[in-house]
Amino acid sequence: MRKLLNTLYITTPDAYLSKDGMNVVVSVQQKETFRIPIINIESIVTFGYMGASPGLMKLCTDNSVSLTFLSPHGRFVSRVQGATRGNVLLRTAQYRLSEDKEYALHLSTLFVGGKIQNYRSILRRFVRDYGTNIDVENIANQLDYRKKAALRAKDFDQLRGIEGDAANAYFGVFPHLILQQKGDFIFTGRNRRPPKDAVNSMLSFVYTLIANDVAAALETVGLDPYVGFLHTLRPGRTSLALDVMEELRAYLGDRFVLSLINRRQISIGDFLPQGEEGITMTDAGRKTLLAAWQTRKKESIVHPYLNEKIPIGLLPYVQAMLLARYLRGDIDDYPVFLIR
């Protein structure tokens, strides 16, 4: 099993990255503030526009360390990758199968069905832990129906309609899952670009982190993260990463954000208004979230398909590996990740 190393998050907007031998060096206003051996990290995510030296970029690509640039507010800018890795026959199969509408639809129904089932599992767990809630139970029952409908979808338009209805229903009862700081963390539905409340701000931010981890995992196993089955091709969009991310959103993203709020690890003071009625995290809030994210990734679960104990941070890699096996024909179907 692949070893889980740390992701280096650079949250200071005016930080510049360079190399010194086999070390990553972080400097602010030309003064060194931090350094770490490249062998101790698996990826770098930097928030800001100062950038990195060509030498540092080469050091990363030579050591299979992904380097991702996000805006100071967490919006994806770009990702540096080295030479294409992996078996060329695997990528050839991926490209060919992505053009097969029947195959692509089948795989897409699994991604969406898994996403909806995991939505339902979160709601059902809430009812088990906190007692009867008619609204939540009703939506959980509706999601079961929508999951089955998704798996029977006849075309992509129908599938996307079912997915949208399921997401709207799930996020409609999401406020019930916020048990602490309810007056501060008011949620009236999913919104983005820009997020208009603190909950949406965290969800968007964490989804970006997940998408980045999934894209890196797909690269690691030899797949092209830009060629997907559910999400259409678009220049610069990691469509396959967004596909695989669907089954992981609820478990890795939603539960994590709810945990931060309900455990009072983050407060409304960690957010600031941004133009056009938007809201963003402060630097301190972002650091708090990222520290908790790193801790969360080191926790272990038993993978429901492999029946092996793995760090949560390796979930994107495991699912990428299983998808590669399915595309190669080594297994009969793709085992989406489902919350137990």
Beta strands in the chain (DSSP E): 6-10, 15-20, 23-28, 31-37, 41-47, 66-70, 76-80, 271-274, 278-281, 300-302, 309-311
Q: Which of 50, 80, 110 is the last residue of a domain?
A: 80
- Residue 322, in any domain of the structure: yes
- Residue 180, in any domain of the structure: yes
* Amino acid making up residue 61: T
- Residue 155, in any domain of the structure: yes
Are 72 and 93 found together in one domain? no
Write the burial class of residue 201 (CB in 10 Å: 0-12 exposed, 13-18 middle, 19+ buried): buried
Question: Is there a contact between 169 and 142 (Cβ–Cβ < 8 Å)?
Answer: yes
Domain containing 291 — which CATH number? 1.20.120.920
Are 62 and 98 found together in one domain? no
Q: Which of 30, 58, 80 is the last residue of a domain?
A: 80
Q: How many independent structural domains does the chain possess?
A: 2
- Residue 248, in any domain of the structure: yes
- Residue 339, in any domain of the structure: no
Are 66 and 118 found together in one domain? no
Peptide bond just before 194 cis, omega within 30 deg: yes
pLDDT tens digits for range 25-37: 999 888 888 889 9
**Is the Cα dihedral 151, 152, 158, 161 positive or negative?**
negative
Are 37 and 104 found together in one domain? no
Domain containing 41 — which CATH number? 3.100.10.20
Chain mean pLDDT for the chain: 89
- Residue 338, in any domain of the structure: no
Are 323 and 282 found together in one domain? yes
Are 11 and 131 found together in one domain? no
3-state secondary structure of 211: helix
Q: Which of 54, 80, 106 is the last residue of a domain?
A: 80
Are 66 and 98 found together in one domain? no
- Residue 290, in any domain of the structure: yes
- Domain hosting 233: range is 88-328
Per-residue tens of pLDDT for the chain, all 340 residues: 455 567 788 877 788 999 989 999 999 888 888 889 988 887 888 877 788 899 999 998 888 787 888 777 667 777 776 666 557 888 999 999 999 999 999 999 999 999 999 999 999 999 998 887 899 999 999 999 999 999 999 999 999 999 999 999 999 999 999 999 999 999 988 888 788 899 999 999 999 999 988 988 898 788 999 999 999 877 778 899 999 999 999 999 999 999 999 999 999 999 988 777 688 888 899 999 999 998 998 899 999 998 888 889 889 989 998 999 999 999 999 999 998 7
What is the rounded distance in angstroms from the CA atom of residue 218 to the CA atom of residue 239?
A: 11
Are 130 and 193 found together in one domain? yes
Are 137 and 266 found together in one domain? yes
Write the burial class of residue 95 (CB in 10 Å: 0-12 exposed, 13-18 middle, 19+ buried): exposed
Are 230 and 318 found together in one domain? yes
Are 114 and 132 found together in one domain? yes
Are 156 and 270 found together in one domain? yes
- Residue 36, in any domain of the structure: yes
